Amino acid sequence: MLKPGFCVVLLGATLGLSGCGYFDSRSAHKAQFTMIGMTSNDLQSCAGTPDKVTKLNATTDLYQYSNKPSATGAFSINPFGMGQTSYNGTGSSCTALFRVDHGQVTEVHYTGDNDKTIGHEGICEPIIRGCIRQPEATMRPVNNGVFGPVSGFHSPAVPAQSQSAVWNGPAADLPALKTPATGAAAASAASSAATSAASPATAVITTRGAAATTTTGQ
């Protein structure tokens, strides 16, 4: 049984971290795991209509959401006239960018002056709050525990993207194939380009408790 004194200390530490933005940062980074694979319809159902949509190509869009807090908590003091000390408070804005490929979220990025006192991207939490608190069916579960992949201090690695999500040209013209190559290396590159151009693209739609794989032509 926990002693009352320890419980008070634990509660105080939890409230302190919460007030400094640590748990907001964890929620923002959790979204970068759990929102991958969700449909654009579900994204808009829990996050709302995007502030801006940029069409990257026939199959890929960039959804932009913004959050700008009304106050950052910045202040300055000059104790006993000995010199002014300033506290900058928390970040002033966040822009969340969702890459949507073939109707599914494939990447979540945050930009701007978006850190709170403890952790990274805490200012972005209101953007994804509705989705995290009430997950949609096409979101995927993630271990949010102490030993899970979610951190308050860094974003996860960017998920692997399909060719259509990152490149607007045919497979044979991928930039990686334009690097100098000779002999066997050149033959291998040419063979890979031909195979990629001829192979159909595979899209995987993951839902809670089920997974469906569909194959479409390039």
**In the prediction, which pLDDT does 106 show?**
97
Q: Could you tell me which of 102, 117, 138 has the C-alpha nearest to residue 218?
A: 102
Q: Is the pLDDT of residue 2 over 50?
A: no
**In the prediction, which pLDDT does 18 show?**
44
Beta strand ranges found along the chain (DSSP E): 52-55, 60-67, 75-77, 85-87, 94-101, 104-111, 201-207, 210-216
Q: Is the pLDDT of residue 6 over 80?
A: no
**In the prediction, which pLDDT does 169 show?**
74
**In the prediction, which pLDDT does 70 show?**
74
AA identity, residue 34: T
**In the prediction, which pLDDT does 147 show?**
74
H helix intervals, 84-124: none
Domain map of the chain by residue range? 12-72+85-164, 169-216
State the Cα–Cα distance between residues 122 and 117, nearest whole angstrom. 9
pLDDT above 70 coverage of the chain, percent: 60
DSSP code of residue 200: P
**In the prediction, which pLDDT does 86 show?**
46
DSSP 118-171: SSSSGGGHHHHHHHHHS--TTS-----STTSS--SS-PPPPPP--HHHH-SS-G
| Averaged pLDDT, 93-114 | 96
170 or 117, greater pLDDT: 117
pTM of the full predicted structure?
0.65
| Averaged pLDDT, 60-64 | 98
Q: Which of 36-50, 117-131, 204-218 has the lowest mean pLDDT?
A: 204-218
| Averaged pLDDT, 186-213 | 45
| Averaged pLDDT, 164-193 | 56
pLDDT band at 101 (very low <50, low <70, confident <90, very high): very high
For the segment(s) 12-72+85-164, the CATH number from 3.90.1150.10, 3.40.50.300, 3.30.1450.10, 3.90.190.20 is 3.30.1450.10
Q: Is the pLDDT of residue 5 over 50?
A: no
Q: Is the pLDDT of residue 121 over 80?
A: yes
pLDDT above 90 coverage of the chain, percent: 50
